[in-house]
Structure 1
Amino acid sequence: MMARLNPYINFLDNARAALEFYQSVFGGELTVSTFAEYGQADDPADADKVMHGQLEGDGGILLMAADTPSHMQPAAETSNISISLSGPFADDATLRGYWEKLSTSGAVTVPLEVAPWGDAFGMCVDGFGVNWLVNIGGPAQG
């Protein structure tokens, strides 16, 4: 068995919109289940909230997300987690495409440019408040 580590992002009330946005960025198949579908909507206001959403994006990207049910709010408004996207120089166009979509939805905190270690690196916060790091390996020397 191979273990898999992937981000699971919690949102207050916009997990569905966030997952749909991430599908527009990463492609792939999105599945979404609500609290009502699992019989877990103790508060009627939670019925249509996302209990579990999963995006199987292109190239092996996997993101999961959920809305925070009302009985668990208020949730923290800031996060100490960033999601890192990285790959070799051969994936430059793909990674820059992800960067463009993620960064234009929110704000750039570090521009995507060549870093002291030779890779292209940038940081942004997307329109849903999620922190992203993008690292594109430098061209092969030889």
Structure 2
Amino acid sequence: MTIINALHINLDGNAREALEFYKAVFGGEILAFPYGQVEAGQGPGQEEQIAWGQVTAPNGFHIMAYDVQDSLPYNRGENPFYSAVRSTDADEIRAVFNGLSDGAEILVPLGPAVFSPLYGKLVDKFGVVWILDVIAQWT
């Protein structure tokens, strides 16, 4: 199977605006889930903010974005992005997650999410934040 490594940017209430901007620049399609559809530690008033979103374009451009939950600290220069690993193969994602787990802090154990059949998040032993997911087939 194929692994996709995408930049995942972390924003403070303007992820939808960023996704629309990148779509205008690169083309493609937006797929986004607001916090109103996801239980993810968000604060009151974040229902319309983006819990998970992406722009993908036929030319290969791919960026992911979300609005950081109110329950987490946000510092534009301290935690501006995640390294995202994606695949259609759950076994491949499990293997990569397990490999990166050596000496890591697990933030979200692998499990289902509204936007993916399998999702997890960890900080590896070098301080890099990784999000890993199985690419959902949207119809």
Q: Aligned partners of 2:75, 2:31: CA distance in 1, in Å?
A: 25
Offset, 1:39 = 3.7
- Structure 2, gaps ≥5 residues long: 82-139
The number of equivalent residue pairs is 81
Asked whether the 8 Å contact 2:19–2:55 carries over to 1, the reply is yes
Q: Could you say which structure has the higher helix fraction?
A: 1
Question: In the alignment, residue 34 of structure 1 is paired with which amino acid?
Answer: P
Cross-structure match for 2:18: 18
Question: In the alignment, residue 30 of structure 1 is paired with which amino acid?
Answer: I
Asked whether the 8 Å contact 1:26–1:58 carries over to 2, the reply is no
- Structure 1, gaps ≥5 residues long: 83-142
Correspondence 1:27-42 to 2 at 5 A = 27-40=27-40, 42=42
Residue by residue over 1:5-36, the C-alpha shift from the partner in whole angstroms, topping out at 9 and shown as x without a partner, is: 11000001100000000000000011111011
Q: Could you say which structure has the higher strand fraction?
A: 2
Report the CA distance shift for 1:4/1:45 in structure 2 as closer, same or farther (over 3 A): same
Question: In the alignment, residue 27 of structure 1 is paired with which amino acid?
Answer: G
Q: Aligned partners of 1:39, 1:72: CA distance in 2, in Å?
A: 14
Larger C-alpha radius of gyration, 1 or 2? 1
Percent pairwise identity: 30
> Which of 1 and 2 has higher RCO (CA within 8 Å, sep 6+)?
2
Asked whether the 8 Å contact 1:29–1:57 carries over to 2, the reply is yes
Report the CA distance shift for 1:79/1:43 in structure 2 as closer, same or farther (over 3 A): closer
Offset, 1:77 = 1.9
Question: In the alignment, residue 36 of structure 1 is paired with which amino acid?
Answer: G
Cross-structure match for 2:52: 52
Asked whether the 8 Å contact 1:31–1:53 carries over to 2, the reply is yes
Offset, 1:41 = 6.2
Asked whether the 8 Å contact 1:41–1:47 carries over to 2, the reply is no
Query: What RMSD in Å do the two structures reach over aligned CA positions?
Result: 2.2
Q: Aligned partners of 2:75, 2:6: CA distance in 1, in Å?
A: 20
What's the TM-score, normalizing by structure 2? 0.52
What's the TM-score, normalizing by structure 1? 0.51
Q: Aligned partners of 2:72, 2:79: CA distance in 1, in Å?
A: 19
Asked whether the 8 Å contact 2:10–2:80 carries over to 1, the reply is no
